[in-house]
């Protein structure tokens, strides 16, 4: 046991001597390379930006040496000049709550430090390196300087530094008070290991020409606040093949407004800053790796230069109403009065997750229009922000809707409303109690670009299609591009009238169960060469109507009519074949004329219904026979009708009347 202890002591002594030998050339080189001679008077420097405490400044004559400091030298400006470590320790130890400036007057070597040099709570000390080198030696896993009070480090002459060597991990400065670093090099790279320049759990400000360097990390913030207003933070070596960081944030609040931060990359590319806790905001400075994740809105990271700067000022307004500009579309719509026009000024991205009920399983509008207005897209687009959407496995439980229309709204301006939302359902517009007129623009949905829940939709122009993802994944949903709630369509509380535009589906007939068509009266759909469908005026005019449905021939109207319906003529009609009526309907001629060319002995209209068929306000012309009652049960009632026939107006079979 004795032999082991003696051996350990001998080994420690050998290693200490080896470290001292390695440090000597650096000391002598620093002495020989110092260009600026030590100054007799302190050089006035600017204090740190936004300092947490005023930097203590002692003017000539404001501080007098105490009884325990008689061996120290005081300059004319009141600073204490120290040429060795003992004088520095004496000056720090004897400092009370008065501000004290300690200025080096020679290079300092501290080879036998067993305990940290401590600035106590309440002490206010400034150390001016004055261009000299302060070299220390410490046991492993300790801090060389511990600041619990207020410490400012500056370097009035330039090229000064504090460098500490050890066998293993050490911290050059451990700060739990207030530390203002205005100049000099705080070096934690000597002898390798995982040295850290500064570890701070208090408040620290780094500015001007200060440099903090460590083998493993330059500055590590574990609590408190840190304001990096300039200087350099860097890792010079890395730690045992791991990455070395210029700045590491494990807690507290850090702001970086200027400076240069760099690390050593051994395993990853992001080594300028390592963030495992706390918060950090970067609005300036230059960095050796991507820090865009910590750059707030209004600032930008340049991956080429590594610089963070204020974003180039741009007009952030997206819409205007009556010459007043707004930064969001919702603000513009809310500010508009009934009858106003909202004009887009830029492309707009809407957050598809910004809905009231995040757990909803139904339609959730992003913007609701509940006043009569015109939306002028002005060639700009309104889209969903794809970066806000969840992954394909999660999906949104609800269906985001760009606009809910609850009033009379007209959309014009040839822009775009794009509801592309990946594999999520999404609607462009849902009309719910309002009336929407679309004059122009491009509209997409997944699958619905425009739906009428209740109310009305009139389309006079524009392009309507599936959004890009669903168009590839589920093209069969194209019939829902324009959609009405089925039950509401049948009871006429949801109405659609298409008189123009281009569509990804043929809406000549109602696309779901039921009858009717979305096409306006007098229009038809034609297929384009690209597979889309256009709308044009139908050259075949409608001649008859049953309810709200119009027909191009009287025969079609009679075939579609049910017992009790009224068939109303809309124009003069010519027939070449006899018409057969088999149920009790009313034909209202509307004072139009039916011209018959069926031939000799052929009736124009055959009646075989046992329910009464009523014909009124009609002129029948050109027929040989007018009406033929085919059986004894057939019944016919004529009111205000004129029959211009060559043979018989009415022919009865058996007891028909």
Q: Is the pLDDT of residue 166 over 80?
A: no
What pLDDT is recorded for position 257?
95
pLDDT at 20 over 50: no
| CB 598 within 8 Å of CB 583 | no
CA 181, CA 48: separation in Å to the nearest integer? 8
* Band of residue 28 on the pLDDT scale cut at 50, 70, 90: very low
Non-local (6+) Cβ contacts of 466 within 8 A are 444, 445, 446, 447, 449, 475, 477, 478, 481, 504
Encoded tokens for 513:
């169960």
pLDDT tens digits for range 288-321? 999 999 998 778 999 999 999 987 665 689 999 9
Output the pLDDT for position 190: 64
Q: Is the pLDDT of residue 63 over 70?
A: no
Indicate whether 231 pLDDT > 80: yes
What's the pLDDT score for residue 93?
87
For the stretch 343-390, pLDDT in tens is: 999 999 999 999 989 899 999 999 999 999 999 999 999 999 999 988
**3-class state of residue 182 by DSSP:** coil
Q: What is the pLDDT of residue 55?
A: 36
Query: 157 versus 19: which is more confidently predicted?
Result: 157
pLDDT at 40 exceeding the cut of 60: no
Strand partners, 225: 203, 253
Q: What is the pLDDT of residue 25?
A: 37
What is the residue whose two structure tokens read 């469908």? 533
pLDDT of residue 45: 34
Q: Strand, coil or helix: what is 554?
A: helix
How far is Cα 88 from Cα 102, in angstroms, rounded to an integer?
7
E strands within 295-392? Answer: 299-301, 307-310, 319-321, 324-326, 341-344, 348-350, 363-369, 373-376, 381-384
pLDDT value at 206 more than 50: yes
- pLDDT of 335 strictly over 70: yes
Whether the Cβ atoms of residue 296 and residue 311 lie closer than 8 Å to each other: no
Taking 60 as the threshold, does the pLDDT of residue 7 lie above it?
A: no
From residue 432, alpha-carbon distances to 166, 350, 408, 409, 482 in Å are 75, 21, 11, 12, 14
Q: How far is CA 384 from CA 374, 432, 450, 502, in A?
A: 21, 21, 16, 23
Residue 71: its pLDDT value, please? 66
- DSSP conformational letter for 69: G
pLDDT in tens, 68-86: 555 688 887 778 999 999 9
- The CA distance from 241 to 268, in Å, is 11
Count CA atoms closer than 13 A to 120's CA, side-chain side: 10
Q: Provide, rounded to the nearest whole percent, the portion of the chain with pLDDT above 70.
A: 84
Q: What is the 3-state secondary structure (H, E, C) of 285-301?
A: EEECCCCHHHCCCCEEE
Element (DSSP H or E) covering residue 467:
none
Using CA atoms, how far apart are residues 167 and 170, in angstroms rounded to an integer?
A: 9
Token readout for 70 is 């008689």
pLDDT tens profile 483-500? 999 999 989 999 999 999
Q: What is the pLDDT of residues 237-287, one digit of tens each?
A: 655 556 788 999 999 999 999 999 998 876 666 678 999 999 999 999 999
Between 538 and 197, where is the model more confident? 197
Spatial contact of 271 and 247, defined as CB atoms under 8 Å apart:
no
Cβ of 284: how many Cβ atoms within 10 Å? 18
Sign of CA dihedral 16, 18, 23, 24: positive
In sequence order, the 6+-apart residues with CB closer than 8 A to the CB of 239 are 193, 194, 215, 216
As to burial, measured by CB atoms within 10 angstroms (0-12 exposed, 13-18 middle, 19+ buried), residue 624 is middle
Report the alpha-carbon distance of residue 338 to residue 320 in Å, rounded. 15
pLDDT-based confidence at residue 114 (cuts at 50, 70, 90): confident
Q: Which of 159-173, 401-415, 586-600 has the lowest mean pLDDT?
A: 159-173
Q: Do the beta carbons of residue 412 and residue 376 sit within 8 Å?
A: yes
Q: What tens digit of pLDDT does each residue of 538-576 get?
A: 777 789 999 978 888 999 999 999 999 999 999 999 998
Specify the pLDDT at position 315: 66
Distance CA 301, CA 283 (A): 9
State the pLDDT confidence band at 610, using cuts at 50, 70 and 90: confident
Q: Which of 202, 222, 102 is nearest to 162 (CA)?
A: 102
Which of 310-314, 597-601, 614-618 is the least confident region? 310-314
Q: State how far the alpha carbon of 373 is from the alpha carbons of 1, 325, 406, 450, 488, in Å.
A: 95, 16, 11, 18, 25
Query: Can you give the pLDDT at residue 515?
Result: 72
Most confident of 185-199, 241-255, 373-387, 620-634: 373-387
Q: 179 near 202, Cβ under 8 Å?
A: yes
Q: Which residue, chain included where needed, has tokens 């623009």?
A: 441
Specify the higher pLDDT residue, 40 or 552. Answer: 552
The pLDDT value recorded for residue 633 is 82
pLDDT of residue 307: 94
Classified as helix, coil or strand, 221 is strand
Q: Would you state the pLDDT for residue 65?
A: 52
Name the percent of the chain lying above pLDDT 90: 61
Maximum C-alpha span of the chain: 148
Give the whole-angstrom CA distance, residue 440 versus residue 414.
Answer: 5
Mean pLDDT value across residues 445-451: 97
The C-alpha atoms of residue 584 and residue 581 are separated, in whole angstroms, by: 8
Average pLDDT of the residues of the chain? 84
What would the mean pLDDT of 54-58 be, rounded to a whole number? 36
- Return all residues near 336 (Cβ < 8 A) that are at least 6 apart: 321, 342, 371, 373
Cα separation, 308 vs 158, in Å, equals 27
Q: Tell me the average pLDDT across 420-441.
A: 96
Closest C-alpha among 261, 284, 175 to residue 211? 261
Helix (H) or strand (E) holding 556: helix 554-560
Q: What is the pLDDT of residues 115-134, one digit of tens each?
A: 899 999 999 999 999 999 99
**In whole angstroms, what is the distance from residue 72 CA to residue 18 CA?**
32
Peptide bond between residue 447 and the one before it cis (omega within 30 degrees of 0): yes
Distance of CA 212 to the CA centre of its chain: 36
Q: Among 473, 465, 472, which Cα is nearest to 449's?
A: 465
Provide the pLDDT for residue 41: 33
SS3 category, 373: strand
Say which residues have a Cβ less than 8 Å from residue 222's Cβ, sequence separation at least 6: 199, 200, 201, 250, 251, 252
pLDDT computed for residue 573 by the predictor: 93
Average pLDDT estimate for 432-442: 97
Closest CA to 263 of 306, 230, 319, 226: 306
């Amino acid at each position: 046991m004795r032999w082991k202890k003696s051996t350990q002591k001998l080994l420690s002594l050998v290693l200490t001597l080896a470290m001292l030998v390695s440090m000597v050339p650096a000391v002598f080189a620093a002495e020989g390379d110092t260009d600026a001679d030590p100054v007799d008077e302190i050089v006035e420097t600017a204090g740190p930006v936004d300092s947490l405490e005023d930097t203590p400044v002692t003017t000539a004559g404001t501080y007098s040496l105490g009884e325990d400091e008689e061996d120290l030298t005081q300059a004319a400006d009141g600073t204490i000049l120290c040429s060795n470590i003992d004088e520095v320790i004496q000056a720090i130890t004897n400092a009370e709550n008065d501000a004290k400036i300690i200025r080096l007057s020679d290079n300092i070597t501290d080879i036998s430090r067993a305990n940290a040099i401590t600035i106590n709570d309440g002490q206010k000390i400034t150390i001016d390196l004055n261009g000299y080198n302060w070299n220390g030696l410490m046991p492993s896993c300790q801090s060389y300087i511990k600041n619990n009070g207020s410490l400012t480090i500056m370097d009035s002459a330039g090229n000064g530094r504090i460098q500490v060597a050890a066998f293993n991990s050490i911290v050059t400065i451990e700060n739990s008070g207030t530390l203002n670093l205005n100049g000099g090099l705080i070096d934690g790279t000597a002898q390798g290991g995982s040295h850290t320049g500064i570890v701070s759990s208090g408040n620290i400000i780094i500015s001007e020409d200060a440099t903090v360097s460590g083998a493993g990390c330059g500055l590590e913030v574990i609590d408190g606040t840190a304001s990096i207003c300039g200087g350099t933070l860097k890792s010079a070596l890395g730690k045992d093949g791991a990455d070395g960081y210029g700045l590491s944030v494990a807690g507290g609040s850090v702001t970086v407004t200027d400076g240069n931060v760099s690390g050593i990359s051994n395993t990853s590319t992001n080594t300028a800053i390592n963030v495992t806790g706390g918060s950090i905001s970067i609005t300036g400075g230059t960095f050796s790796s991507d820090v865009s994740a910590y750059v707030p809105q209004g600032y930008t990271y340049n991956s080429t230069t590594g610089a963070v700067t204020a974003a180039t000022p741009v007009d952030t307004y997206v819409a205007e109403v009556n010459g007043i500009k707004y930064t969001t579309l919702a603000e513009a719509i809310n500010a508009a009065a009934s009858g106003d026009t909202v004009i887009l000024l830029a492309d707009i991205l809407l957050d598809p997750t910004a809905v009231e009920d995040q757990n909803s399983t139904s339609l959730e509008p992003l913007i609701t229009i509940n006043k009569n207005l015109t939306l002028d897209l002005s060639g700009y687009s309104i889209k969903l922000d794809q970066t806000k959407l969840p992954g394909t496995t999660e999906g949104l439980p609800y269906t985001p809707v760009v606009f809910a229309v609850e009033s009379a709204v007209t959309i014009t301006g040839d822009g775009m409303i794009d509801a592309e939302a990946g594999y999520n359902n999404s609607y462009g517009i849902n009309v719910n109690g309002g009336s929407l007129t679309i004059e122009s623009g491009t509209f997409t949905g997944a699958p619905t670009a425009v739906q009428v829940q209740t109310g009305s939709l009139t389309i006079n122009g524009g392009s309507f299609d599936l959004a890009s993802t669903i168009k590839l994944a589920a093209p069969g949903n194209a019939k829902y591009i324009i959609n009405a709630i089925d039950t509401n369509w049948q009871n006429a509380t949801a109405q659609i009238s298409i008189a123009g535009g281009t569509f990804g589906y043929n809406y000549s007939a109602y696309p779901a169960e039921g009858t009717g068509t979305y096409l306006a009266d007098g229009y038809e759909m034609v297929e384009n060469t690209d597979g889309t469908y256009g709308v044009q005026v139908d050259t075949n005019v409608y001649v008859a109507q049953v309810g709200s449905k119009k027909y191009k021939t009287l025969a079609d109207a009679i075939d579609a009519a049910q017992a009790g319906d009224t068939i109303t003529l809309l124009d003069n009609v010519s027939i070449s074949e006899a018409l057969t009526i088999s149920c009790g309907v009313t034909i209202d001629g509307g004072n139009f004329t039916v011209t018959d060319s069926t031939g000799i002995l052929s009736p124009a209209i055959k009646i075989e219904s046992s329910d009464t068929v009523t014909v009124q306000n009609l002129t029948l012309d050109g027929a040989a026979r007018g009406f033929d009652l085919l059986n004894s049960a057939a019944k016919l009632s004529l009111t205000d009708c004129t029959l211009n026939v060559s043979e018989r107006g009415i022919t009865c079979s058996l007891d028909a009347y």
